[in-house]
Amino acid sequence: MKAKTVYVCTNCDNQSSSWLGRCPSCGAWNTFTEETYENEQTAPEDKKSARRSLLVRASTDSEPQQFSDDVADYLRSDTGMNEFDRVLGGGLVEGSVVLISGEPGIGKSTLLLQICDALAESKKVMYVSGEESAAQISMRAKRLGISNKNIWLLTETDADKVLKHAEKLQPDVLIVDSIQTMYHTESATIPGSVTQIKESAAMFINKAKNDGTAVLFVGHVNKEGGIAGPKILEHMVDTVLYFEGENHHNFRLIRAIKNRFGSTNEIGVFEMTDKGLREVANPSEMLLADRPQNVSGNCAVCLIEGSRPLIAELQALTVETSFPSPRRMSTGLDYNRLALILAVLDKRLGLHFSGVDVYMNVIGGLKITETSSDAGMALALVSSVRNMPVPDDLMCIGEIGLSGEVRAVSRIEQRIREGARLGFCRIAIPYRNYQKLTDKPDGIEIIPLKTIFDMLPLMIKPNK
Protein backbone atom coordinates (compact mmCIF):
# COMPACT_ATOMS: atom_id res chain seq x y z
CA MET A 1 0.00 0.00 0.00
CA LYS A 2 1.26 3.42 -0.87
CA ALA A 3 1.42 6.23 1.66
CA LYS A 4 -0.07 9.53 0.70
CA THR A 5 1.05 12.94 1.91
CA VAL A 6 -1.20 15.94 2.10
CA TYR A 7 -0.51 19.37 3.54
CA VAL A 8 -3.11 20.82 5.90
CA CYS A 9 -3.46 24.42 7.06
CA THR A 10 -3.61 24.39 10.87
CA ASN A 11 -5.61 27.57 10.83
CA CYS A 12 -8.50 26.79 8.51
CA ASP A 13 -8.14 23.12 7.60
CA ASN A 14 -7.52 23.80 3.92
CA GLN A 15 -5.66 20.97 2.17
CA SER A 16 -3.15 20.98 -0.62
CA SER A 17 -1.03 18.38 -2.36
CA SER A 18 2.08 20.53 -2.06
CA TRP A 19 3.49 22.71 0.71
CA LEU A 20 2.48 26.36 0.46
CA GLY A 21 3.99 29.30 2.32
CA ARG A 22 0.68 31.10 2.48
CA CYS A 23 -2.73 29.49 2.73
CA PRO A 24 -4.83 30.54 -0.29
CA SER A 25 -8.00 30.05 1.73
CA CYS A 26 -7.41 32.01 4.95
CA GLY A 27 -4.30 33.97 4.02
CA ALA A 28 -2.25 32.79 7.05
CA TRP A 29 1.50 32.32 6.63
CA ASN A 30 3.50 29.20 7.49
CA THR A 31 0.51 27.23 8.68
CA PHE A 32 0.80 24.19 6.39
CA THR A 33 1.84 20.97 8.12
CA GLU A 34 2.52 17.66 6.49
CA GLU A 35 0.16 14.75 7.13
CA THR A 36 1.04 11.28 5.95
CA TYR A 37 -1.69 8.71 5.48
CA GLU A 38 -0.42 5.13 5.58
CA ASN A 39 -3.01 4.03 3.10
CA GLU A 40 -3.81 6.05 0.01
CA GLN A 41 -7.43 4.93 0.15
CA THR A 42 -8.01 6.39 3.62
CA ALA A 43 -6.79 9.84 2.67
CA PRO A 44 -9.77 12.18 2.55
CA GLU A 45 -10.45 13.15 -1.03
CA ASP A 46 -13.10 15.63 -0.21
CA LYS A 47 -12.02 17.86 2.64
CA LYS A 48 -15.52 19.20 3.16
CA SER A 49 -17.03 15.78 3.77
CA ALA A 50 -14.16 14.93 6.13
CA ARG A 51 -14.76 18.07 8.12
CA ARG A 52 -18.50 17.60 8.15
CA SER A 53 -18.20 14.08 9.54
CA LEU A 54 -16.29 15.50 12.50
CA LEU A 55 -18.70 18.17 13.47
CA VAL A 56 -21.93 16.20 13.17
CA ARG A 57 -23.14 15.46 16.66
CA ALA A 58 -24.05 11.87 17.42
CA SER A 59 -27.76 12.61 17.66
CA THR A 60 -29.10 13.51 14.25
CA ASP A 61 -32.81 12.96 14.86
CA SER A 62 -33.52 16.17 16.74
CA GLU A 63 -36.70 18.09 16.01
CA PRO A 64 -37.04 21.85 15.61
CA GLN A 65 -38.29 23.39 18.82
CA GLN A 66 -40.26 26.50 19.47
CA PHE A 67 -38.26 29.15 21.29
CA SER A 68 -39.03 29.16 24.97
CA ASP A 69 -37.49 30.99 27.88
CA ASP A 70 -38.66 28.35 30.30
CA VAL A 71 -35.33 26.52 30.52
CA ALA A 72 -33.47 25.17 33.49
CA ASP A 73 -30.21 26.88 34.40
CA TYR A 74 -26.90 25.12 33.78
CA LEU A 75 -25.90 22.55 36.32
CA ARG A 76 -22.61 23.77 37.72
CA SER A 77 -20.15 22.15 40.08
CA ASP A 78 -17.87 23.91 42.47
CA THR A 79 -14.21 23.25 41.60
CA GLY A 80 -13.05 24.22 45.06
CA MET A 81 -11.22 27.21 43.67
CA ASN A 82 -13.25 30.41 43.53
CA GLU A 83 -10.84 31.98 41.10
CA PHE A 84 -11.25 29.11 38.65
CA ASP A 85 -15.03 29.03 39.10
CA ARG A 86 -15.16 32.73 38.33
CA VAL A 87 -13.37 32.28 35.00
CA LEU A 88 -15.69 29.43 34.10
CA GLY A 89 -18.67 31.71 34.71
CA GLY A 90 -19.63 30.31 38.13
CA GLY A 91 -18.45 26.70 38.20
CA LEU A 92 -17.89 23.76 35.88
CA VAL A 93 -20.94 23.18 33.69
CA GLU A 94 -22.17 19.61 33.30
CA GLY A 95 -21.60 18.33 29.75
CA SER A 96 -19.34 21.24 28.84
CA VAL A 97 -15.96 20.97 27.17
CA VAL A 98 -13.17 23.21 28.41
CA LEU A 99 -9.76 23.66 26.81
CA ILE A 100 -6.99 24.97 29.07
CA SER A 101 -3.83 25.98 27.31
CA GLY A 102 -0.58 27.59 28.30
CA GLU A 103 3.19 27.40 28.16
CA PRO A 104 4.91 24.24 29.39
CA GLY A 105 5.52 24.31 33.14
CA ILE A 106 2.99 27.07 33.83
CA GLY A 107 0.92 24.77 36.06
CA LYS A 108 -1.88 23.29 33.95
CA SER A 109 -1.52 19.75 35.28
CA THR A 110 -1.12 21.05 38.83
CA LEU A 111 -4.31 23.10 38.62
CA LEU A 112 -6.34 20.23 37.19
CA LEU A 113 -5.11 17.84 39.84
CA GLN A 114 -6.06 20.34 42.52
CA ILE A 115 -9.58 20.85 41.19
CA CYS A 116 -9.96 17.06 40.94
CA ASP A 117 -9.77 16.94 44.70
CA ALA A 118 -12.73 19.25 45.28
CA LEU A 119 -14.79 17.83 42.40
CA ALA A 120 -14.23 14.28 43.65
CA GLU A 121 -16.02 15.15 46.90
CA SER A 122 -19.31 14.71 45.11
CA LYS A 123 -18.36 13.43 41.65
CA LYS A 124 -16.46 10.63 39.98
CA VAL A 125 -13.38 12.08 38.30
CA MET A 126 -11.22 10.38 35.67
CA TYR A 127 -7.81 11.90 35.02
CA VAL A 128 -6.21 10.69 31.78
CA SER A 129 -2.58 11.54 31.28
CA GLY A 130 -0.67 10.97 28.08
CA GLU A 131 2.35 12.80 29.39
CA GLU A 132 3.19 11.51 32.85
CA SER A 133 3.20 8.08 34.47
CA ALA A 134 0.66 7.14 37.12
CA ALA A 135 3.51 7.09 39.65
CA GLN A 136 4.53 10.64 38.75
CA ILE A 137 0.97 11.91 39.08
CA SER A 138 0.43 10.07 42.35
CA MET A 139 3.66 11.52 43.75
CA ARG A 140 2.54 15.01 42.85
CA ALA A 141 -0.95 14.39 44.25
CA LYS A 142 0.62 13.21 47.50
CA ARG A 143 2.72 16.36 47.71
CA LEU A 144 -0.37 18.47 47.09
CA GLY A 145 -2.20 16.60 49.82
CA ILE A 146 -4.74 14.96 47.51
CA SER A 147 -5.90 11.51 48.50
CA ASN A 148 -9.47 11.30 47.28
CA LYS A 149 -10.55 7.78 46.36
CA ASN A 150 -13.02 9.08 43.82
CA ILE A 151 -10.22 10.07 41.43
CA TRP A 152 -9.32 7.48 38.81
CA LEU A 153 -5.98 7.76 37.03
CA LEU A 154 -5.37 6.40 33.56
CA THR A 155 -2.18 6.71 31.56
CA GLU A 156 -3.18 6.16 27.96
CA THR A 157 -2.79 7.92 24.64
CA ASP A 158 -5.21 5.88 22.53
CA ALA A 159 -8.45 7.89 22.46
CA ASP A 160 -10.54 4.76 21.72
CA LYS A 161 -9.20 2.99 24.78
CA VAL A 162 -9.74 6.07 26.92
CA LEU A 163 -13.35 6.21 25.78
CA LYS A 164 -13.86 2.49 26.46
CA HIS A 165 -12.64 2.99 30.02
CA ALA A 166 -14.81 6.07 30.34
CA GLU A 167 -17.85 4.06 29.16
CA LYS A 168 -17.17 1.51 31.87
CA LEU A 169 -16.38 3.96 34.65
CA GLN A 170 -18.93 6.61 33.64
CA PRO A 171 -17.08 9.53 35.27
CA ASP A 172 -18.84 12.87 35.81
CA VAL A 173 -15.64 14.72 35.00
CA LEU A 174 -13.08 13.60 32.44
CA ILE A 175 -9.70 15.31 32.28
CA VAL A 176 -7.48 14.75 29.23
CA ASP A 177 -3.88 15.89 29.75
CA SER A 178 -3.10 16.68 26.95
CA ILE A 179 -5.25 16.56 23.82
CA GLN A 180 -2.09 16.71 21.67
CA THR A 181 -0.91 13.34 22.99
CA MET A 182 -4.16 11.57 22.08
CA TYR A 183 -4.46 9.58 18.89
CA HIS A 184 -7.19 7.73 17.13
CA THR A 185 -6.25 4.40 15.53
CA GLU A 186 -8.85 4.59 12.79
CA SER A 187 -7.41 7.80 11.46
CA ALA A 188 -4.39 6.89 9.36
CA THR A 189 -2.26 9.92 10.08
CA ILE A 190 0.60 10.05 12.57
CA PRO A 191 -0.11 10.94 16.25
CA GLY A 192 0.07 14.64 17.03
CA SER A 193 -1.07 15.64 13.55
CA VAL A 194 -3.90 18.08 12.95
CA THR A 195 -6.34 15.35 11.92
CA GLN A 196 -5.50 13.21 14.94
CA ILE A 197 -6.08 16.04 17.41
CA LYS A 198 -9.32 17.01 15.72
CA GLU A 199 -10.70 13.49 15.60
CA SER A 200 -9.73 12.59 19.17
CA ALA A 201 -11.25 15.84 20.40
CA ALA A 202 -14.46 15.18 18.46
CA MET A 203 -14.78 11.77 20.13
CA PHE A 204 -14.47 13.25 23.62
CA ILE A 205 -16.84 16.09 22.77
CA ASN A 206 -19.46 13.60 21.62
CA LYS A 207 -19.08 11.80 24.91
CA ALA A 208 -19.59 15.07 26.79
CA LYS A 209 -22.69 16.01 24.84
CA ASN A 210 -24.26 12.54 24.99
CA ASP A 211 -23.58 11.62 28.61
CA GLY A 212 -23.32 15.03 30.26
CA THR A 213 -19.72 14.38 31.28
CA ALA A 214 -17.73 17.57 31.83
CA VAL A 215 -14.54 17.28 29.78
CA LEU A 216 -11.41 19.32 30.40
CA PHE A 217 -8.62 19.25 27.81
CA VAL A 218 -5.11 20.48 28.41
CA GLY A 219 -3.76 22.08 25.24
CA HIS A 220 -0.16 22.83 24.29
CA VAL A 221 0.85 26.15 22.81
CA ASN A 222 2.97 26.69 19.72
CA LYS A 223 5.98 28.95 19.58
CA GLU A 224 3.90 31.99 18.69
CA GLY A 225 1.85 31.45 21.87
CA GLY A 226 -1.32 30.26 20.14
CA ILE A 227 -2.98 26.93 20.90
CA ALA A 228 -1.12 24.18 19.07
CA GLY A 229 -3.04 22.17 16.50
CA PRO A 230 -6.03 23.09 14.45
CA LYS A 231 -7.88 26.34 14.99
CA ILE A 232 -11.07 24.34 14.67
CA LEU A 233 -10.36 22.85 18.12
CA GLU A 234 -11.18 26.22 19.67
CA HIS A 235 -14.47 26.30 17.75
CA MET A 236 -15.39 22.79 18.82
CA VAL A 237 -15.08 23.33 22.58
CA ASP A 238 -17.37 25.45 24.76
CA THR A 239 -14.74 27.29 26.74
CA VAL A 240 -11.15 28.21 25.96
CA LEU A 241 -9.01 29.27 28.90
CA TYR A 242 -5.51 30.61 28.70
CA PHE A 243 -3.08 30.17 31.54
CA GLU A 244 -0.47 32.93 31.54
CA GLY A 245 2.33 34.32 33.65
CA GLU A 246 6.08 34.31 33.63
CA ASN A 247 7.73 31.05 34.59
CA HIS A 248 10.13 32.80 36.95
CA HIS A 249 7.33 34.75 38.60
CA ASN A 250 4.89 33.13 40.97
CA PHE A 251 1.92 35.07 39.67
CA ARG A 252 -0.41 33.12 37.37
CA LEU A 253 -3.49 34.40 35.54
CA ILE A 254 -6.24 32.39 33.90
CA ARG A 255 -8.13 34.24 31.25
CA ALA A 256 -11.21 33.08 29.35
CA ILE A 257 -10.80 33.64 25.60
CA LYS A 258 -14.11 32.04 24.73
CA ASN A 259 -16.92 31.01 27.05
CA ARG A 260 -20.35 29.79 26.03
CA PHE A 261 -21.39 29.76 29.70
CA GLY A 262 -20.10 33.08 30.98
CA SER A 263 -18.21 36.27 30.34
CA THR A 264 -14.81 36.24 28.66
CA ASN A 265 -13.60 39.22 30.63
CA GLU A 266 -13.03 37.44 33.90
CA ILE A 267 -9.61 36.48 35.12
CA GLY A 268 -8.55 34.15 37.90
CA VAL A 269 -5.42 34.97 39.86
CA PHE A 270 -3.17 32.35 41.41
CA GLU A 271 0.23 32.08 42.97
CA MET A 272 2.49 29.04 42.48
CA THR A 273 3.75 27.82 45.84
CA ASP A 274 5.52 24.68 47.02
CA LYS A 275 2.04 23.29 47.80
CA GLY A 276 0.70 23.89 44.33
CA LEU A 277 -1.43 26.78 43.13
CA ARG A 278 -2.92 29.07 45.75
CA GLU A 279 -5.77 31.42 44.98
CA VAL A 280 -5.09 35.12 45.29
CA ALA A 281 -8.35 36.77 46.26
CA ASN A 282 -6.71 40.15 46.68
CA PRO A 283 -4.25 40.56 43.79
CA SER A 284 -3.69 44.32 44.18
CA GLU A 285 -2.34 43.80 47.69
CA MET A 286 0.05 41.14 46.49
CA LEU A 287 1.26 43.26 43.58
CA LEU A 288 1.98 46.19 45.84
CA ALA A 289 3.64 44.15 48.59
CA ASP A 290 7.30 44.98 47.86
CA ARG A 291 6.87 48.50 46.51
CA PRO A 292 10.07 50.51 46.58
CA GLN A 293 9.60 53.81 48.43
CA ASN A 294 10.55 57.21 47.12
CA VAL A 295 12.30 56.02 43.94
CA SER A 296 12.00 57.79 40.61
CA GLY A 297 10.40 56.02 37.66
CA ASN A 298 7.64 54.19 39.57
CA CYS A 299 3.93 54.83 39.25
CA ALA A 300 0.82 52.93 40.32
CA VAL A 301 -2.06 52.48 37.86
CA CYS A 302 -5.45 50.81 38.13
CA LEU A 303 -6.71 48.40 35.50
CA ILE A 304 -10.05 46.70 35.20
CA GLU A 305 -9.72 42.98 34.63
CA GLY A 306 -13.13 41.46 34.08
CA SER A 307 -15.31 42.74 36.85
CA ARG A 308 -12.39 43.50 39.15
CA PRO A 309 -10.07 46.45 39.50
CA LEU A 310 -6.41 45.56 39.76
CA ILE A 311 -3.65 47.91 40.85
CA ALA A 312 -0.36 47.46 39.06
CA GLU A 313 2.97 49.11 39.52
CA LEU A 314 4.75 50.44 36.42
CA GLN A 315 8.47 51.02 36.39
CA ALA A 316 10.41 53.09 33.90
CA LEU A 317 14.16 53.37 33.67
CA THR A 318 15.92 55.77 31.34
CA VAL A 319 19.71 55.70 30.99
CA GLU A 320 22.12 57.40 28.64
CA THR A 321 22.58 55.13 25.65
CA SER A 322 25.79 53.52 24.53
CA PHE A 323 24.23 52.20 21.33
CA PRO A 324 24.13 53.96 17.96
CA SER A 325 20.33 53.85 18.15
CA PRO A 326 18.80 53.91 21.64
CA ARG A 327 17.12 50.81 23.03
CA ARG A 328 13.45 50.59 23.84
CA MET A 329 12.35 47.63 25.90
CA SER A 330 8.94 46.94 27.28
CA THR A 331 7.88 44.01 29.47
CA GLY A 332 4.17 43.60 30.09
CA LEU A 333 3.21 46.72 28.14
CA ASP A 334 2.59 47.11 24.45
CA TYR A 335 5.78 48.21 22.71
CA ASN A 336 3.88 50.39 20.24
CA ARG A 337 2.05 52.12 23.07
CA LEU A 338 5.41 52.91 24.69
CA ALA A 339 6.69 54.38 21.39
CA LEU A 340 3.54 56.49 21.11
CA ILE A 341 3.82 57.86 24.66
CA LEU A 342 7.51 58.66 24.10
CA ALA A 343 6.62 60.54 20.91
CA VAL A 344 3.89 62.54 22.70
CA LEU A 345 6.25 63.43 25.58
CA ASP A 346 8.91 64.49 23.07
CA LYS A 347 6.59 66.66 20.98
CA ARG A 348 4.36 68.16 23.69
CA LEU A 349 6.70 68.45 26.68
CA GLY A 350 9.96 68.81 24.75
CA LEU A 351 11.50 65.88 26.65
CA HIS A 352 14.02 64.27 24.36
CA PHE A 353 14.42 60.53 24.60
CA SER A 354 16.64 60.22 21.52
CA GLY A 355 19.83 59.93 23.59
CA VAL A 356 18.50 57.53 26.22
CA ASP A 357 17.65 53.86 26.43
CA VAL A 358 14.16 53.30 27.81
CA TYR A 359 13.13 50.23 29.80
CA MET A 360 9.54 49.81 30.89
CA ASN A 361 8.30 47.04 33.15
CA VAL A 362 5.14 45.92 34.95
CA ILE A 363 5.72 44.35 38.36
CA GLY A 364 4.57 40.78 38.92
CA GLY A 365 4.77 39.60 35.31
CA LEU A 366 1.39 41.16 34.55
CA LYS A 367 0.48 41.98 30.95
CA ILE A 368 -1.38 45.26 30.40
CA THR A 369 -3.50 45.81 27.34
CA GLU A 370 -5.62 48.67 28.65
CA THR A 371 -4.94 52.24 27.53
CA SER A 372 -6.00 53.59 30.95
CA SER A 373 -2.41 52.98 32.09
CA ASP A 374 -1.06 55.53 29.53
CA ALA A 375 -0.97 58.40 32.02
CA GLY A 376 0.83 56.25 34.59
CA MET A 377 3.30 55.16 31.95
CA ALA A 378 3.96 58.79 30.93
CA LEU A 379 4.36 59.86 34.56
CA ALA A 380 6.81 57.01 35.27
CA LEU A 381 8.86 58.00 32.21
CA VAL A 382 8.96 61.70 33.09
CA SER A 383 9.79 60.80 36.69
CA SER A 384 12.73 58.67 35.59
CA VAL A 385 14.11 61.11 33.05
CA ARG A 386 13.90 64.02 35.53
CA ASN A 387 14.93 61.84 38.47
CA MET A 388 12.01 63.07 40.56
CA PRO A 389 9.94 60.39 42.33
CA VAL A 390 6.18 60.13 42.11
CA PRO A 391 4.71 60.21 45.67
CA ASP A 392 4.04 56.71 47.02
CA ASP A 393 0.42 57.53 47.83
CA LEU A 394 -0.38 58.75 44.31
CA MET A 395 -2.12 56.74 41.63
CA CYS A 396 -2.51 57.92 38.05
CA ILE A 397 -5.29 56.93 35.65
CA GLY A 398 -6.00 58.09 32.09
CA GLU A 399 -5.57 57.47 28.40
CA ILE A 400 -3.26 59.79 26.48
CA GLY A 401 -4.13 61.13 23.03
CA LEU A 402 -1.67 62.27 20.40
CA SER A 403 -2.17 65.94 21.27
CA GLY A 404 -1.11 65.22 24.84
CA GLU A 405 -4.68 65.37 26.17
CA VAL A 406 -5.70 63.01 28.98
CA ARG A 407 -8.82 61.18 27.87
CA ALA A 408 -11.61 59.69 29.97
CA VAL A 409 -11.62 56.00 30.95
CA SER A 410 -14.45 53.67 31.93
CA ARG A 411 -15.56 52.66 35.45
CA ILE A 412 -13.64 55.38 37.23
CA GLU A 413 -15.54 55.05 40.53
CA GLN A 414 -14.52 51.42 40.83
CA ARG A 415 -10.87 52.28 40.19
CA ILE A 416 -10.92 55.09 42.74
CA ARG A 417 -12.48 52.83 45.37
CA GLU A 418 -9.78 50.19 44.85
CA GLY A 419 -7.06 52.85 45.09
CA ALA A 420 -8.59 54.22 48.30
CA ARG A 421 -8.87 50.72 49.76
CA LEU A 422 -5.17 50.15 49.24
CA GLY A 423 -4.12 53.40 50.84
CA PHE A 424 -3.69 55.77 47.90
CA CYS A 425 -4.64 59.24 49.14
CA ARG A 426 -4.22 61.12 45.88
CA ILE A 427 -5.70 59.83 42.67
CA ALA A 428 -5.13 61.66 39.38
CA ILE A 429 -7.91 61.06 36.88
CA PRO A 430 -8.94 62.51 33.50
CA TYR A 431 -10.79 65.87 33.69
CA ARG A 432 -13.84 64.51 31.86
CA ASN A 433 -14.20 61.74 34.46
CA TYR A 434 -13.67 64.30 37.24
CA GLN A 435 -16.56 66.43 35.99
CA LYS A 436 -18.96 63.49 36.09
CA LEU A 437 -17.76 62.03 39.35
CA THR A 438 -20.64 61.51 41.75
CA ASP A 439 -19.23 59.31 44.44
CA LYS A 440 -15.87 60.03 46.10
CA PRO A 441 -14.47 58.22 49.14
CA ASP A 442 -13.72 60.49 52.12
CA GLY A 443 -10.20 61.72 52.68
CA ILE A 444 -9.11 61.12 49.10
CA GLU A 445 -7.83 63.96 46.99
CA ILE A 446 -8.90 63.66 43.37
CA ILE A 447 -6.67 65.52 40.93
CA PRO A 448 -8.13 66.32 37.50
CA LEU A 449 -5.82 66.01 34.48
CA LYS A 450 -6.62 67.86 31.25
CA THR A 451 -3.30 67.38 29.51
CA ILE A 452 0.06 65.83 30.29
CA PHE A 453 1.23 69.25 31.52
CA ASP A 454 -1.02 68.78 34.55
CA MET A 455 0.98 65.71 35.51
CA LEU A 456 4.25 67.55 36.01
CA PRO A 457 3.42 69.12 39.41
CA LEU A 458 2.54 65.67 40.74
CA MET A 459 6.17 64.69 41.18
CA ILE A 460 8.27 65.38 44.28
CA LYS A 461 11.18 67.80 43.86
CA PRO A 462 14.53 66.21 44.82
CA ASN A 463 15.83 67.14 48.26
CA LYS A 464 19.22 68.37 47.21
In the complex, the residues that contact Mg ion under the rule CB under 5 A are 109
Nearest distance, CB of residue 131 and ligand TYD, angstroms: 8
Q: Which does 258 bind (CB under 5 to 8 A by kind): Mg ion, ligand TYD, none?
A: none
Nearer to ligand TYD, 137 or 363 (CB): 137
Task: Give per-residue burial for 384-400: e unless 16+ CB within 10 Å, then b.
Answer: bbbebbbebebbbbbbb
Nearest distance, CB of residue 250 and ligand TYD, angstroms: 8
Nearest distance, CB of residue 115 and Mg ion, angstroms: 14
Q: Which does 110 bind (CB under 5 to 8 A by kind): ligand TYD, Mg ion, none?
A: ligand TYD
Q: Which does 104 bind (CB under 5 to 8 A by kind): ligand TYD, Mg ion, none?
A: ligand TYD
Q: Which does 457 bind (CB under 5 to 8 A by kind): Mg ion, ligand TYD, none?
A: none
Which of 189, 185, 183 is CA-nearest to residue 36? 189
Nearer to ligand TYD, 286 or 295 (CB): 286
Which of 373, 351, 330 is CA-nearest to residue 456? 351
Q: Which does 409 bind (CB under 5 to 8 A by kind): Mg ion, ligand TYD, none?
A: none
Q: Which does 106 bind (CB under 5 to 8 A by kind): Mg ion, ligand TYD, none?
A: ligand TYD
Nearest distance, CB of residue 1 and ligand TYD, angstroms: 38
Nearest distance, CB of residue 248 and ligand TYD, angstroms: 11
Nearer to Mg ion, 11 or 109 (CB): 109
Nearest distance, CB of residue 192 and Mg ion, angstroms: 16
Residue number of the CB closest to Mg ion reads 109
Q: Which does 27 bind (CB under 5 to 8 A by kind): Mg ion, ligand TYD, none?
A: none
Nearest distance, CB of residue 95 and ligand TYD, angstroms: 25
Nearer to Mg ion, 53 or 136 (CB): 136
- Applying CB under 6 A, the residues found at the interface with ligand TYD are 102, 104-110, 140, 143-144, 272, 274-276
Nearer to ligand TYD, 364 or 419 (CB): 364
Q: How many residues does the chain have?
A: 464
Q: Which does 21 bind (CB under 5 to 8 A by kind): ligand TYD, Mg ion, none?
A: none
Nearer to ligand TYD, 250 or 451 (CB): 250
Nearer to ligand TYD, 143 or 235 (CB): 143
Q: Which does 105 bind (CB under 5 to 8 A by kind): Mg ion, ligand TYD, none?
A: ligand TYD
Provide φ and ψ at 446, rounded to 5°.
-105, 125
Distance CA 339, CA 323 (A): 18
Nearer to Mg ion, 108 or 415 (CB): 108
Nearer to ligand TYD, 108 or 198 (CB): 108
Nearest distance, CB of residue 279 and Mg ion, angstroms: 20
